[in-house]
Structure 1
Amino acid sequence: MIGEAPGGVDVHTANASRIYDYMLGGKDNFAADREAAEQIVRVFPESRDGVRRNREFLGKVVRYLAAEVGIRQFVDIGAGLPTANNVHQVAHSVAPDARTVYVDNDPVVCVHGRALLAKTATVAMVNGDVRKPEDIHAKVTQTGLVDWSRPVGLLMMAVLHFVDEPQEHVAKLREMVAPGSYLGITHLTVTGERGGDTERLRQIYSRANMPVTPRPAEEIARLFGDFEPVPSALFIPPYLVERFGSLGSGGVARKP
């Protein structure tokens, strides 16, 4: 996408999905995205590595759910642009019959994603917003790939900090999944010692297509409700949890 703008794409306003893509070393980004990303790196020098570690975390979660738990259907909300080691690719490396539905509220991301995923029968991408859980449920159902009466891997990685007051929406999504389902979340944090840096991060994203709201780790933990936590050491070593604690938090939990 570098140097070539599809019709209808605003190349002058930084886009959260394209910032993430650039941080991962992707090519689906423009000058405004790269400039915003470099501003973020100046504020949080660990952020580029943090984005890559977030992607590793996602991959380890999917591999664990497919290989150790037997999950065969995944719903990835706030999926962003397809890149390396996507959810369906990791799941297929363990179970070729695994099914994945990606959900994103950016229509351009969805068009691009559908084009890239068109030849994979066990994968779909739908336009949906985490603030409309019932709509997501309906659209995912329409793909024919997910049976909500059976356990699902519900993933919301690096998306909820773009949502005002996400607790109620996530609670509804937790209600929709069957017992034995798993919820994976990562989220930008705010801490007292890095409060000024976090405010500058907010300002950068306020000029992009999505304002961002980092939250305290305790508030992020409440997003899991009464789900049973899975030990985080299965997916990320403790030293990385400490290293990135001022940047992000999250985890994985199982519905009883």
Structure 2
Amino acid sequence: MRGRDAGRKAIQPDFSKPSVARMYDWLIGGRDNYPVDREACKELLQIAPSTRELALVNRAFLVRAVRYLAEECGITQYIDHGSGLPTSPNVHQVVQQFHSDARVVYVDNDPIVLGHGKMMLAEDTATTAVILQDMRNTEAIFESDEVRRLIDRNMPIACLFVSVLHCVPEKDDPWKLVRDAARRLPPGSYLVISQLASDDEQLRSDITQFMREITGGNWGEVRSLDEVGRFFEGLELVEAQAPCEVSLWRPDSEIGPRQKTKEWVEFGGVARLP
């Protein structure tokens, strides 16, 4: 889970209910959360004790994937779907270590994320932006003023869907969402995808029901490993033969962070458009 309610219509903040964005923030050691979020996390940890570890592993995967795309693939344009609350290092900070003029657009439908993002990017508006938009509305994202201003559609782009697709219910077809984004990208572009997954059907059901209840329906579902694998159909996986538990994707070292317990995992990878 990566801190956002990205699969839903934008609404005013409701501090009486836990927010996926703020829960994720607490799990990775952030400060932009409230007692209701912390209590929800503690309940979730009783169902899936490795959730904090999972969140940290996922964040490390995001940083490694972006570093790989910037340093080794030369990608200088990024659209981060469901970006969540700012957490250092953010995508633009990683990329701009290698390309000072790299451009990043953050997308989220949480008004709190928009507010924090605008403050964070106040001095970087020439190369970065944050927009308030439902990530399912691909056309609105790609035709937005900020994407038009910053993203050159004739050059390779990296689209990030990192720990967000589980916020999209099956009825809204998250696989079509990924295909719609991919078909708007030029050849040589990349997608980074991870989502919460488990092959334990009962666990999937328990966590999905819990998250839907505490967030007031702002949740999709935990999926099987095979279901997550479908996001990569028609794409060329890089640095891996198949989607994997993300701590295993180009680990920094043999003693790097791993998700040891397996009640659920972040499952995914990095893929290139042919």
TM-score, normalising length from structure 1? Answer: 0.90
After superposing the two structures, state which structure 1 stretch, 141-150 or 153-162, moved more: 141-150
Matches within 5 A, 1:236-247: 236=251, 240=258, 243-244=261-262, 246-247=264-265
Q: Per-residue CA shift, 1:70-102, capped at 9, x if unaligned?
A: 000111000011111110111112221111100
Q: Is the 8 A contact 2:80 2:161 kept in 1?
A: yes
Distance 2:44 2:185 in 1: 35
Which residue type is aligned with residue 270 of structure 2?
A: V
Which residue type is aligned with residue 138 of structure 1?
A: E
Match of 1:199 among 199, 205, 212: 205
Match of 1:16 in 2: 20
Q: Is the 8 A contact 1:100 1:124 kept in 2?
A: yes
Matched, 1:235 2:250: yes
Match of 2:38 in 1: 34
- Unaligned 5+ segments in structure 1 are 1-7
TM-score, normalising length from structure 2? Answer: 0.84
Matches within 5 A, 1:46-195: 46-120=50-124, 121-139=126-144, 142=147, 144-164=149-169, 165-192=173-200, 195=201
Taking a change above 3 Å as real, the CA distance of residues 227 and 250 of structure 1, as seen in their structure-2 partners, is: same
Match of 1:249 in 2: 267
RMSD: 2.0
As a proportion of its length, which structure holds more helix?
1
Count of residue pairs the alignment pairs up: 247
Among all aligned residue pairs of Structure 1 and Structure 2, give the percentage whose two residues are the same amino acid: 36
Give 1:204 shift. Answer: 2.5
Match of 1:208 in 2: 215
Q: Which has the higher contact order (CA 8 A, sep 6+)?
A: 2
Give 1:38 shift. Answer: 1.2
Match of 2:230 among 218, 222, 230: 222
SS in structure 2 of the partner of residue 11 of structure 1:
coil
Taking a change above 3 Å as real, the CA distance of residues 63 and 245 of structure 1, as seen in their structure-2 partners, is: farther
After superposing the two structures, state which structure 1 stretch, 75-84 or 237-246, moved more: 237-246
Distance 2:204 2:226 in 1: 17
Give 1:246 shift. Answer: 3.1
Taking a change above 3 Å as real, the CA distance of residues 173 and 245 of structure 1, as seen in their structure-2 partners, is: farther
Which residue type is aligned with residue 12 of structure 1?
A: S
Distance 1:142 1:68 in 2: 24
Taking a change above 3 Å as real, the CA distance of residues 107 and 13 of structure 1, as seen in their structure-2 partners, is: same
Q: Per-residue CA shift, 1:169-223, capped at 9, x if unaligned?
A: 111101001111110011011313xx33333322331121512301111111111
Taking a change above 3 Å as real, the CA distance of residues 244 and 253 of structure 1, as seen in their structure-2 partners, is: farther
Taking a change above 3 Å as real, the CA distance of residues 144 and 244 of structure 1, as seen in their structure-2 partners, is: farther
SS in structure 2 of the partner of residue 9 of structure 1:
coil
Which residue type is aligned with residue 105 of structure 1?
A: N
SS in structure 1 of the partner of residue 79 of structure 2:
strand
Q: Per-residue CA shift, 1:90-143, capped at 9, x if unaligned?
A: 111222111110000112211221122111131100112221110111116545
Give 1:244 shift. Answer: 4.6
SS in structure 1 of the partner of residue 215 of structure 2:
coil
Which residue type is aligned with residue 150 of structure 1?
A: M
Distance 1:89 1:19 in 2: 23
SS in structure 1 of the partner of residue 193 of structure 2:
strand
Q: Per-residue CA shift, 1:1-55, capped at 9, x if unaligned?
A: xxxxxxx532210000000101110000111111111111111111101101100
